[in-house]
Amino acid sequence: MVQKITVVGAGNVGATTAQRLAEKELARTVVMVDVAEGIPQGKGLDQWESAPIEGFDSHIIGTNSYDETAESDIIVITAGIARKPGMSRDDLLNTNAGIVKQVSEQVKKTSPNAILIIVSNPLDVMAYVALKTTGFPRERVIGMAGVLDTARYRAFLAEAADVSVRDIQAMVLGGHGDTMVPLISCTSVSGIPITQLISKEKLDAIVARTRTGGGEIVKHLKTGSAYYAPSSAAVQMCEAVAKDQKRILPCAAWLQGEYGLRDLYLGVPCKLGRSGLEKIYEVELTADERKALEMSAEAVREPMRAVTL
């Protein structure tokens, strides 16, 4: 447990993240901040009133001021507009870049030692905006993408193989979008290679569904985007940091030569602990996987070039 975790944004992702952080008692105080007057206060009070029933002692505070977020150990940034049907993550670029920049300027002033976990989309570029705006070291600005993408991949695999999701070992690398790279070579069921249990045709379909998993939910919802699984992914990262778990999770990290790539955020295997990003692992890729990762990197660089900081 740490002293304070702040969630920026009291929308569906932010509010669900705050509730789960409190229920897991990852911080003594969970602060939810949002520009919408009354929304974080109302949701925060409602969540706190669930504590006697759910049995958690973490205090939840809703506020419109960054003063109450001061000296946060971890800050989860979910602020931004959500996707609507027909919109890609990159369509959100300009609006959300401005929002994330403003948020980053605020948290730099009030919590200069915090570890930032970025959830706002387009994820990889928003992590870049936060890194450049705050000037924090890369170890303290990490993007939530691979954990979510891998969860979707594992869920689809478990359904296809008719096994428990707990027994699926898998990892999705690359950008958080249609060019993400599920690593079939690293996918297994309790150590059994997935290729022995699911046909290539079905695997290809699962990979394709994983890449468009967020869009599939947007089409169903029509007026919003996913928030249950994204909040779970963000909280898993917070837990790894708050408890110094040394978890190896696929996260968006600022690459400086790893995988032959530099100066961009991309999903790679990361060790997370109390100091944030503690190590990037370079796993051996097949020729096709490496080519796909390079294509994904270029897909991230394109919107990066369009951002003015």
Tokens of 191: 């150590």
Q: What is the pLDDT of residue 105?
A: 98
Residue type, 222: K
pLDDT above 70 as % of the chain = 98
User: Over the Cα atoms of the chain, what is R_g?
Assistant: 19
Q: Are residues 187 and 300 in the same domain?
A: yes
Short-list 68, 58, 48, 56, CA closest to 28: 58
Q: Are residues 43 and 168 in the same domain?
A: no
Q: What is the pLDDT of residue 230?
A: 97
Total number of domains constituting the chain:
2
Could you read off the pLDDT of 132-143 as tens digits, one per residue? Answer: 999 999 999 999
Q: Are residues 23 and 103 in the same domain?
A: yes
> Which position among 20, 83, 176, 247 bears the catalytic label?
176
Q: Give me the mean pLDDT over the 124-128 stretch.
A: 96
Neighbours of 47 (CB within 10 A): 25
Q: In whole angstroms, what is the distance from residue 111 CA to residue 73 CA?
A: 8
Q: Are residues 106 and 15 in the same domain?
A: yes
pTM, two decimals, is 0.95
Q: What is the pLDDT of residue 90?
A: 65
Residues 6+ apart with CB under 8 A from 177: 88, 89, 90, 122, 124, 211, 296, 299, 300
Q: What is the pLDDT of residue 91?
A: 74
Could you read off the pLDDT of 265-288 as tens digits, one per residue? Answer: 999 999 999 999 999 999 999 999
Q: Which domain holds residue 258?
A: 146-305
Could you read off the pLDDT of 58-106 as tens digits, one per residue? Answer: 999 999 999 999 999 999 999 988 766 776 656 778 889 999 999 999 9
Residues 6+ apart with CB under 8 A from 30: 4, 5, 6, 7, 18, 21, 22, 58, 59, 60, 61
Q: In whole angstroms, what is the distance from residue 75 CA to residue 238 CA?
A: 9
Q: Are residues 135 and 97 in the same domain?
A: yes
Could you read off the pLDDT of 179-209 as tens digits, one per residue? Answer: 999 999 999 999 999 999 999 999 999 999 9
pLDDT above 90 as % of the chain = 92
Q: What is the 3 state secondary structure string of 239-257? A: HHHHCCCCEEEEEEEEEEC
CATH code where residue 175 lies: 3.90.110.10
Q: What is the pLDDT of residue 223?
A: 86
Q: Are residues 248 and 159 in the same domain?
A: yes
Looking at 92, 112, 143, the residue that finishes a domain is 143
Active site residue 176: yes
Q: Are residues 174 and 56 in the same domain?
A: no
Collapsing DSSP to helix, strand or coil, 89 comes out as: helix
Q: Give me the mean pLDDT over the 143-153 stretch.
A: 96
Give the helix ranges, DSSP H, for the chain. 12-23, 39-48, 51-54, 93-110, 123-134, 146-161, 200-211, 213-221, 228-242, 287-305
